Structure 1
Amino acid sequence: MSSVKARGVIAAGPSDVDTVRAAIEAMNAFYNETTGLWDTSPWWQSGVALRAVAEYMLVTGSEEYAPMAAFTVDTQRAPLDWWPEGGGEFRADSTDDTGWWALALASLYEATGNSTYLDLAKVDEAYMYDYWNTTTCGGGLIWSIRTRTYHNAISNELYLELTAKLHNLIPGDTFYLNQALKEWDWFNATGMINSKGLVNDGLTEDDSCVNNGQPVWSYNQGVVLAGLVELWTATDDVSYIDAARSIADAVVNDASLSPNGILTEAACATAEECESNGTAFKGIFIRGLAKLNAVLDDHPYQSYIRKNAQSAYDNSRNSTDFYGFSWQAAFDNGTIGRQVSAVDLLLSTL
């Protein structure tokens, strides 16, 4: 960790713009000004980091990170060396990796009004929908573009949020709304939401297409919340809010996911077990929970969000505003996954 130095300053508390900015500045210590990516992360996490920066600008009205965001977008539009079919413009070899960047682009459009970002998000939506399955499981996006396999939760949740968000950003749209409705109708009927009200990882890869019982990752609970809020915004249909509240309540009240009210990645007890991907998941859940909380009159999840932020600030933050994996424990290491998770958490308090 000694090789990473934060550029920010320690602020006064977790629900504070300066605290969020300090965490972003620490996150940006990983930013590579040649590649336009945040180093040490899987490619998708740089998309999550870009989205967090965009949403910070949107919430605060600051344009501080607009040049960095523009450079990231420009560098990532080039063909991808590791994608043998010549991917580019954020089109990756999995539908979920594409979706993270598409959401970042949509948020950048919200923050800046630059239509280039909206146009790119539309390109990514079309690319994702090319992998809507017409032969098995009654539809749904498949995850792996190379192998054309696996109906998983995260790809479909990202597509739900993206299409509903595009509808809400584009006056007079009907196309993206119909896509979002189609996605939710399919997803809700699959059984991926289990008897406890929690979302498992995906469907079995045989003809039965039933819930595969794989881990209940926190981010799979969060992205669907954000998507359902966007869909409610589009339609004013309270059933989408009811569905979101059911999932949110299941997480908040689950003893393994929220022991003592602090979100925990129960499917992998340590950062090593979570590997680099899972270290970013908790902040993604809190982001979705905060979007749900914001549209509810009684803000029922506000205390949960703030309790998690306070715990992370008090326990897992080091002297240079880096945050560790566990929000209840002392700082362990600095990585982009850990840091962007904390940025999402802190942003959710503003």
Structure 2
Amino acid sequence: MTMTRRTLATLSAAAVPILGLAPAAWSAPPGSLSAGGDASRALSRARAAAEVLMADYDPDKAWFPSSWWNSAVALQTIGDYMLRSGDLRFLDQLERTFERNKGPFPAGELSGDEIYGSFCSRAIDDSGWWALTWMRAYDLTGEQKHLDMAVTIGEFMSDFWDPSTCGGGIWWDEERTYKNAVTNGQWIRLTAQLHARIPGDRQWLERALEAWEWYAHGAMIGEDGLLNDGLTDACENNHDRVYTYNQGLAIGGALELWRATGDETQLERARCFADSALAEGALVEDGILVEWTDALGESTNDNHKQFKGIFLRYLMDLADTTGDARYREFVARQAASIWERDRTLDGRLGVRWSGEESADSPNVADWRTQASALSALIADLPADGADSSLTAALTQPSVVIPDGEPTASSLQLEVTATTAAARKLVVHLEVEAPDGWIVDLASRIRLDLPGGDAVVAVELPLTVTIPPDAADGVHEISVRARTSAQQDFTAGARVVVAREIAFAGGTEDGPWLWEDRGSGVTDEPGRFADGTSSFTYRFPFPAGTTTAQATVTISNQFVVELSADGSEWTSVLRETEQIRDASNRGDRTLDLTPYLGGEDKDVYLRVSDAFAEDGWGGQVHRVTAEHSAG
């Protein structure tokens, strides 16, 4: 984890609250979950979750917004999905990330820290995540450049192996302040993987065995088989929290070294690490994997959000390797709970896989929690794949601002399917919407499927007409897609009706956010855009609007631009001093009337960074807007 002023400010940031969702749809008690599940259903769920995750990928910066190491783990998860499912549609994004981000970057450009090049930085564990990601890319593509990059990162990490302190181990950071479980778990997994993929290697195997000897007999592993986070300055167990990802890396490292050596004791240690974690009350509550920050009232953070998925990645590896039904059953239980309890109508997967939440402690969801839960859905997919799949997804509509007349909102429904053998498939579509709403959609479609791993996707227009008396708030519509082969998938969308425009940046602005190019969120609250990032709000004013204005509470080094079409921009506000303490925070009122002349009455407001080089861009705390007709 890389700690900077900005990341410290975002640690307890809420993302998208999942309020009042799936528990009502959960009818079976946890004990009744099937062990293996249906392979077609598992593939459909994993594909849908992967598509939601990749919708957050920033093609410009070629990462997921605002988190360097989290992006590596999310991309490795997508690699896991492609390798296990055979669906290779995201290879271009993986390649884009490699080519765009393999060079050096100044501090603040990507992660807060300077990136030296070859995905290395002062945070050694951050570098390790990227090495494991490029190992997965090599397994997918066979391209030597990915293996070479993993080797380069491995050599960088090797410089921080230091037997003069605590007898060995990789330092966590360039300043050599801490030896911990995550960095050394990564190191064992990586070195053993490199040995297996480099013909005639001895050096990487020697490094792996040296690291394993230090790690397996070291002080971080407690008598209960659980790993505490790291060592004290006196080289003793610091009795810090047992994080799920550390336990997962212990499983993964032991497994990969067993493959390299054939030493059965290493396979047994992998089992021991898993069994210790899966004991009820260790890292499991009521059959569901938990991070300690999952407890109601605790604050999660952008790092903790991805830990459980890393554990599931390596538990999947252990389940595949041993064929142990206990591990398969545990995986199936996680996948079922995530899908039935922890999923929003529009396919977001939250941080608590049980779905538990309260008004004061919502179950937050963002791309990090999506990637983590996706690992569990991937693990539930049999290693030999599935014969077929069916998914459906709805685009999320603009906010509707009523003006006394029915309002039409246009959406797109995408249906995707696969089959092992070529065939024609008829998909029936059924719509559910609030009373008085009209939804125009075809009742069925016919797909020509070529067979194999080819994914066929069809987009259909869908028009929702909202009555003028629709209440303010969130309204749900859904489309159920089903086939005669008992495939069944439901897509959903949330239509926000709002007669008053008032929202906090970062916590309530999701429905108004038209484009997000790498912004971040703090808990002040506020959404910020550092460096070359930006974010854009859209105000879809009614057709009769003749005047409008917005008041933006904003701070730090901001640039604010307005547009009538989201393409041509006019700069209306710019901070001329390099303010970093929000001392210029205040309300700025903007006249939106000159921008009401487009094809519709939409007005776009974009925020970016006035001094891109220092990482303290504009931060929006609150937005209100007013409009009138005639």
TM-score, scaled to structure 1: 0.91
In the TM superposition, residue 27 of structure 1 has moved relative to its aligned partner by 0.8
- 1:326 is aligned, of 345, 352, 360, to 352
User: In structure 2, what is the equivalent of residue 63 of structure 1?
Assistant: 88
Residues 88, 257 of structure 1: CA spacing in aligned structure 2 closer, same or farther, 3 A cutoff?
A: same
User: In structure 2, what is the equivalent of residue 130 of structure 1?
Assistant: 159
Asked if structure 2 preserves the Cα contact closer than 8 Å seen for 1:23 and 1:321, the reply is: yes
Asked if structure 2 preserves the Cα contact closer than 8 Å seen for 1:14 and 1:309, the reply is: no
Moved more, 326-335 or 91-100: 326-335
Q: Percent identity?
A: 35
The secondary structure found in structure 1 opposite 2:300 is helix
Asked if structure 1 preserves the Cα contact closer than 8 Å seen for 2:75 and 2:133, the reply is: yes
- 1:141 is aligned, of 170, 176, 184, to 170
Structure 2: gaps (5+ residues): 1-14, 17-37, 357-361, 382-630
Cα distance in 2 for residues equivalent to 1:109 and 1:139: 29
Matched, 1:75 2:100: yes
The secondary structure found in structure 1 opposite 2:94 is helix
Moved more, 335-344 or 57-66: 57-66
CA shift digits 1:232-265 (9 cap, x unpaired): 1111111011111111111111415211110011
Alignment of 1:213-252 (within 5 A): 213-252=239-278
User: In structure 2, what is the equivalent of residue 6 of structure 1?
Assistant: none
CA shift digits 1:71-127 (9 cap, x unpaired): 011121121211777611110211110011100000000001111100000000000
The secondary structure found in structure 1 opposite 2:281 is coil
User: In structure 1, what is the equivalent of residue 224 of structure 2?
Assistant: 196
User: In structure 1, what is the equivalent of residue 371 of structure 2?
Assistant: 340
In the TM superposition, residue 319 of structure 1 has moved relative to its aligned partner by 1.6
The secondary structure found in structure 2 opposite 1:284 is helix
User: In structure 2, what is the equivalent of residue 112 of structure 1?
Assistant: 141
Q: Which structure shows the bigger proportion of residues in helix conformation?
A: 1
CA shift digits 1:18-43 (9 cap, x unpaired): 21111111111211111001114x21
Cα distance in 2 for residues equivalent to 1:184 and 1:58: 28
Segments of 4+ moved more than 6 angstroms: none
Residues 85, 55 of structure 1: CA spacing in aligned structure 2 closer, same or farther, 3 A cutoff?
A: closer
Give the residue type in structure 2 aligned to 1:187: Y
Asked if structure 1 preserves the Cα contact closer than 8 Å seen for 2:64 and 2:71, the reply is: yes
Asked if structure 2 preserves the Cα contact closer than 8 Å seen for 1:13 and 1:313, the reply is: no
Asked if structure 1 preserves the Cα contact closer than 8 Å seen for 2:276 and 2:282, the reply is: no
Give the residue type in structure 1 aligned to 2:118: E
Alignment of 1:1-350 (within 5 A): 16-40=42-66, 42-82=67-107, 87-145=116-174, 147-205=175-233, 208-266=234-292, 269=295, 273-329=299-355, 332-350=363-381
The secondary structure found in structure 2 opposite 1:280 is helix
The secondary structure found in structure 2 opposite 1:32 is coil
Moved more, 169-178 or 111-120: 169-178
The secondary structure found in structure 2 opposite 1:333 is strand
Q: Which structure shows the bigger proportion of residues in strand conformation?
A: 2
Cα distance in 1 for residues equivalent to 2:114 and 2:229: 27
Larger radius of gyration: 2
TM-score, scaled to structure 2: 0.52
Q: Indicate the structure whose relative CO is greater, using CA pairs within 8 Å and at least 6 residues apart.
A: 1
The secondary structure found in structure 2 opposite 1:136 is coil
Cα distance in 1 for residues equivalent to 2:208 and 2:98: 25
Give the residue type in structure 2 aligned to 1:150: Y
The secondary structure found in structure 2 opposite 1:275 is coil
Cα distance in 2 for residues equivalent to 1:200 and 1:248: 15
Cα distance in 2 for residues equivalent to 1:294 and 1:300: 12
User: In structure 1, what is the equivalent of residue 442 of structure 2?
Assistant: none
Asked if structure 1 preserves the Cα contact closer than 8 Å seen for 2:280 and 2:287, the reply is: no
Asked if structure 2 preserves the Cα contact closer than 8 Å seen for 1:79 and 1:88, the reply is: yes
In the TM superposition, residue 134 of structure 1 has moved relative to its aligned partner by 3.3
Asked if structure 2 preserves the Cα contact closer than 8 Å seen for 1:153 and 1:192, the reply is: yes
Cα distance in 2 for residues equivalent to 1:106 and 1:200: 27
Asked if structure 2 preserves the Cα contact closer than 8 Å seen for 1:305 and 1:349, the reply is: yes
The secondary structure found in structure 2 opposite 1:118 is helix
User: In structure 2, what is the equivalent of residue 7 of structure 1?
Assistant: none
Cα root mean square deviation, aligned: 2.1
Count of paired positions = 338
Residues 306, 46 of structure 1: CA spacing in aligned structure 2 closer, same or farther, 3 A cutoff?
A: same
Give the residue type in structure 2 aligned to 1:101: W
